Structure 1
Amino acid sequence: MPLALRRLLTDPSALLGLGILLVMLVCAVAGEQLVPYPEDAFDAKPWQRLEPPSAEFWFGTDGLGRDVFSRTIMGARVALMIALSVVVAAMLVGVPLGLLAGYHGGWLSEVVMRVTDVFQAVPQLVLALAFAAVMRPSVSSAMLALALTYWPFFCRIVYGETRRVKSGLFVDALQAQGAATGRILFLHVLPNVAPAIIVRATIGMGVTILVAATLGFLGMGAAPPTPEWGLMVAEARKDLPEGWWQSLFPGLAILLAVLGFNLVGDAVRDIADPRLRRSR
């Protein structure tokens, strides 16, 4: 077994995080098969509205009579889809820009880094709200707004790592041999900065889920009747405090998803850079 995998599997917090993410993945893939009333995740049934948690409705029902348990489980698919799409899109933009800016330097580096500074000067949530406000509320709009605000994080970390790797003797040797820039960047520099990218991507998944839920809560993300956790919490406000279960369970789902990604991200960071290892 590789040393990195052995360290990951012997870390209690990492195992907890992996367990949470595994459950989330199962819910995302097989949500309809896991819930007792899959049709109740979307269809309103006024005659059973605001039923408290019971043997029939484990998490109760919402103000429209929809099963909260079914909506919470099926919401894992929406959250995971948003997180994966946003992080992959941000990587596709930020990683190449960071590699080019860090390797070439000069005017290209200045332009890319100044644009990155402009994006990072404003909190991501505020910037995402600004982008989402000019688009029609939907899951795709939320993903686009988040991707537009998250790529600078990848760009900056890849830029710094590329500058560090570029000073290595092996890069000088490749340049002396006349190796093409693309070959140096993607076959030699990129593998050396990959650990930092993986750490940022893992932690970024949790951040994206949280920010996406915030957009949904503010009415700028997923639109009804999509079973999205932030939207579920927002829709529950009108029935508080009597219908407390409507917001409790999707809120716990957000908490656990973010916790899972953060625990795994911390463990991956410890393995990728022992200098940052947490004290045991």
Structure 2
Amino acid sequence: MVVKKFSRDLPATFGLIVVMSILTVAVFGWWLVSGPSDVYDSNLLARLSPPSAQNPFGTDDLGRDVYSRVIIGARSALLVGVGVVAASMLIGVPIGLYAGYTRTIGSEVVMRITDIFLAVPQLVLALAIAQILSRGLESAMLALALTYWPAFARTVYGEVRHQKTSLYVEALEGLGASPFRIAVLHLLPNVAPAIIIRATIGVGFAILTAATLGFLGIGATPPSPDWGLAIAESRQFLPESWWLALFPGLAIFITVLGFNLLGDGLRDILDPKLRRSR
């Protein structure tokens, strides 16, 4: 029934196809390119060549194959997206559970801290943290994780506050179940759909933000095949060498769109209360 319902949602199905395709490219990327030489080695005789049969996406200013770098860059993009979301969940979900189920000074303090983080645009806060850290992809991931966890904390907090008034929670409290048992074994499974939806959309958002940091020179460093870094390096060759920015930009656009559409489809199935109007 779930599969049938999901297949009727054409945007969500398209998003699933895109996400599965990106995952396939990320896993089997090295089998889709000629070899590491096309990704990292310079070939100045072939620099800034337009798209052709030999180089479908053209070459960059160092003669490297843009197609190969875009394909291998998918692995880095997904590593960033999944890593940032996983780290954010490890921080935000326990905080949301604790603050949502308990009514103590500690829960109020952590939620006010969460509100402070949410009051500042994530990109601005991530830029500030990344500037303090050393330049590199790991620093960008850490900065994104430290700024995205409040989204999970606020989501879980709201869901737990809603579930807390349910009869099954009152019955468990009446039976003498410990707060930890109620929160982890009963409340957490019931708020899992909201977490899954937030995580799916968050992967696309993390990829987009990481690409922005790479474009600004704070994320990945050369010669990494990073999509955001590739767009930044192409600026001085535009508009003549348009392919340098077009194909990495399309990769970012399609990947983020796929995760967003998939997240919307999962929201329709896992949380009917938030179902999109049709």
Do both proteins adopt the same fold according to a TM-score greater than 0.5, normalized to the shorter chain? yes
Letter in 1 for 2:101: Y
Q: 2:45 is matched with which residue?
A: 47
Aligned runs of 1:240-251 on 2, under 5 Å? Answer: 240-251=238-249
Q: 1:68 is matched with which residue?
A: 66
Correspondent of 1:206 among 193, 204, 207: 204
Q: What are structure 2's unaligned runs of at least 5 residues?
A: none
**d(CA) in 2 for partners of 1:276 and 1:95?**
20
Correspondent of 1:261 among 235, 251, 259: 259
Letter in 2 for 1:265: G
Correspondent of 2:121 among 117, 120, 123: 123
- RMSD of aligned residue pairs (Cα, Å): 1.0
Distance apart, 1:23 and its partner CA: 1.1
Distance apart, 1:275 and its partner CA: 2.8
Q: What are structure 1's unaligned runs of at least 5 residues?
A: none
Match of 1:236, SS state, is helix
**d(CA) in 2 for partners of 1:106 and 1:234?**
48
**d(CA) in 2 for partners of 1:38 and 1:26?**
18
Q: Deviations over 1:84-120 (max 9, x none)?
A: 0000000000000000000012212210111001111
Distance apart, 1:37 and its partner CA: 4.4
Q: 2:135 is matched with which residue?
A: 137
Q: 1:114 is matched with which residue?
A: 112
Distance apart, 1:180 and its partner CA: 1.8
Match of 2:151, SS state, is helix
Distance apart, 1:273 and its partner CA: 2.2
**1:234 maps onto 2:232 in alignment:** yes
**d(CA) in 1 for partners of 2:91 and 2:273?**
28
**d(CA) in 1 for partners of 2:34 and 2:42?**
16
Letter in 2 for 1:233: I
Distance apart, 1:71 and its partner CA: 0.3
Bigger shift: residues 86-95 or 99-108: 99-108
Correspondent of 1:83 among 60, 66, 81: 81
Bigger shift: residues 170-179 or 149-158: 170-179
Q: Deviations over 1:9-48 (max 9, x none)?
A: 2211111101111110111001111013442111122111
Q: 2:172 is matched with which residue?
A: 174
User: Residues 246 and 67 from structure 1, CA distance in 2 versus in 1: closer, same or farther, beyond 3 angstroms?
Assistant: same
Bigger shift: residues 168-177 or 122-131: 168-177
Q: 2:29 is matched with which residue?
A: 31
**Length-normalised TM-score, structure 2:** 0.98
Letter in 2 for 1:153: A
**d(CA) in 1 for partners of 2:188 and 2:35?**
47
Do 1:37 and 1:67's aligned partners in 2 also have CA atoms closer than 8 Å? no
Would you say how many aligned residue pairs link Structure 1 and Structure 2? 278
Dislocated runs of 4+, deviation >6 Å: none
**d(CA) in 2 for partners of 1:129 and 1:4?**
41
Q: 1:7 is matched with which residue?
A: 5
Q: 2:90 is matched with which residue?
A: 92
**Length-normalised TM-score, structure 1:** 0.97
Match of 1:196, SS state, is helix
Letter in 2 for 1:83: G
**d(CA) in 2 for partners of 1:45 and 1:243?**
17
Do 1:72 and 1:253's aligned partners in 2 also have CA atoms closer than 8 Å? yes
% same residue: 59
Bigger shift: residues 267-276 or 88-97: 267-276
**d(CA) in 2 for partners of 1:217 and 1:230?**
5
Q: Deviations over 1:229-280 (max 9, x none)?
A: 0000000111111111000000000000000000001111111222332233
Bigger shift: residues 150-159 or 103-112: 103-112
**d(CA) in 2 for partners of 1:215 and 1:86?**
14
**d(CA) in 2 for partners of 1:47 and 1:90?**
45
